[in-house]
Amino acid sequence: MTSHNQQLFDESQKIIPGGVNSPVRAFRSVGGTPLFFKRGKGAYVWDADDKRYIDYVNSWGPMIVGHCHPEVVKAVQDAAAEGLGFGAPTAAELEIAGLLCKILPSLEMVRLVSSGTEATMTAIRLARGFTGRSRIIKFEGCYHGHSDGLLVKAGSGALTFGQPSSSGVPAEIAALTTVLDYNDAAGLEKAFAEFGNEIAAVIVEPVAGNMNLILPKREFLDAMRNLCTKHGAVLILDEVMSGFRVGLQGAHGHYGIKPDLITLGKVMGGGLPAAAFGGRRDIMQCLAPLGAVYQAGTLSGNPVAVAAGLATLKLVQEPGFYQRLTQVARQMTEGLTAAARKHGIPFSAQSIGSMFGLYFSKEVPTSYAEVMSCDKEAFNRFFHAMLEEGVYLAPSAFEAGFVSAAHTDADIAATVAAADKIFASW
Ligand SMILES: *Cc1c(COP(=O)(O)O)cnc(C)c1O
């Protein structure tokens, strides 16, 4: 019998390019048929054949309290019953904006949008409007959504397909993006020395999660802050993934680095389309209708999405929330590393907060080049073997993984046992 996943994928490919609405979902990197999911509850998801998986993708990050948390579902239902959208301000928007500014003191003002792509795209425009400069700096392997100027040597799906720069981006636009090496403070210093007075912004994932998980070096973070300040460039910390994942105050809170602007998404929408950008008041006041930098959105601040975000942000503020997640992620990486070592497999892993990285390499990578030299074929084999065992990892060697508050010690133990079984017959 053909699986329902296969049937659905065959049909989808006829009318949806590649059968998917976002490229990494197509399993091109790992091969095989993507799973079509029909249900999620807590730490688990069920595919079209009713097979259950322990989920470490978490919808690519948002489901930090687990799937279908009763309080989130209730908040969404209550909001929906009052109106799906008005295209006018609501009190709930003020509430979530206030909450974001309270949790993240670097936000003096904030604006809501519907996706991380919108947040980063607008943050760049705002930085250009504020500085009157055009050039931006990004780092190879970092992904900041799919706007033209940011799809230059990008991570995530772009990286998965070995096409980190997109066709359809005019060379004239790509030329305004200077791409440097992540964690290379000297390279950044050199770029600022050469054309510091042309740089509108440096945009970075302060913890990189779109080329697998790469942690920032202290000197790299400090160099970014100091050079941006010295040369009048805007430092944009893209926390769409790391925000409310690394800890309550994101990566910038964890490392104590002060941004000029930050971008948020994923967790702050609780699974629905809500995202935000914000930061220094003097920069944010350049936005329309106050200032001359235009940005708008029919669905921005949508009441149902905001309700999901508010309910989720309420849960993550509970005492001990991140301590427990940090411990669960560590249990997972330590368990997997021990299993691999037992069977003599070159493997390493690390975590920060609720994010983790798994690498088929002896040492944990600290740069884009090191990530690229990990054994991708080994990952693909591992991915499919784990899938067979009922463990759903991100379908690419270049994505970070996530645990949620719903993952129990037993889930982690089952995951480690599955890996142990696989590694035993490796
Ligand atoms: C996911 C992500 C984005 C893009 O967000 P979308 O909601 O997919 O548009 C931007 N930056 C980072 C760091 C991300 O992880």
Identity (one letter) of the amino acid at 236? Answer: I
User: What are the Cα distances from residue 174, in Å, to 134, 190, 412?
Assistant: 11, 20, 43
* For ligand 1, atom 15: residue with the closest CA: 241
Which atom of ligand 1 lies nearest, measured to the CA of 115? 7
Q: Is the pLDDT at 164 greater than 90, yes or no?
A: no
Count CB atoms within 10 A of the CB of residue 14: 7
Superfamily classification of domain 319-390 = Aspartate Aminotransferase, domain 1 (3.90.1150.10)
d(Cα 424, Cα 420) in Å, to the nearest integer? 6
| pLDDT, position 287 | 98
Q: Which residue has the higher pLDDT, 160 or 170?
A: 170
* For ligand 1, atom 5: residue with the closest CA: 116
Max Cα–Cα distance, the chain, nearest Å: 65
- The mean-pLDDT minimum among 2-6, 53-57, 392-396 falls in 2-6
Q: What is the pTM of this model?
A: 0.97
Task: Say if 70-316 and 319-390 have the same CATH topology.
Answer: no
- Ligand 1, pocket-test mutation among 144, 160, 182, 267, most atoms within 8 A of CB: 144
| pLDDT, position 243 | 98
CA 130 to chain centre: 26
Query: What digits encode the pLDDT tens for the residues 18-36?
Result: 999 999 999 999 999 999 9
Mean pLDDT of 158-165: 64
| pLDDT, position 393 | 98
Q: Is the pLDDT at 97 greater than 70, yes or no?
A: yes
| pLDDT, position 162 | 55
Q: Are 397 and 380 in contact (CB under 8 A)?
A: yes
Q: Is the pLDDT at 100 greater than 90, yes or no?
A: yes
d(Cα 166, Cα 183) in Å, to the nearest integer? 24
Q: Is the pLDDT at 12 greater than 70, yes or no?
A: yes
Confidence label for 8 from pLDDT (cuts 50, 70 and 90): very high
Q: Which is nearest to 205 in space by CA: 141, 142, 135? A: 142
Q: Give the residue extent of every domain in the chain.
A: 1-38, 70-316, 319-390
Q: Are 312 and 263 in contact (CB under 8 A)?
A: no
Count CB atoms within 10 A of the CB of residue 344: 9
Q: Are 65 and 315 in contact (CB under 8 A)?
A: yes
> Mean pLDDT in the chain?
96
User: Catalytic site residue 56?
Assistant: no
d(Cα 117, Cα 127) in Å, to the nearest integer? 15
Q: How is residue 128 written in tokens?
A: 């250009």
d(Cα 20, Cα 130) in Å, to the nearest integer? 38
Partner residues linked to 355 by β-bridges:
352, 402
Query: What digits encode the pLDDT tens for the residues 302-316?
Result: 999 999 999 999 999
CATH architecture under which domain 70-316 falls: 3-Layer(aba) Sandwich (3.40)
Q: How far is the CA of 120 from the centre of ligand 1 (A)?
A: 8
| pLDDT, position 1 | 62
- Ligand 1, pocket-test mutation among 58, 117, 236, most atoms within 8 A of CB: 117
Alpha-helical regions (H) of 285-320: 303-316
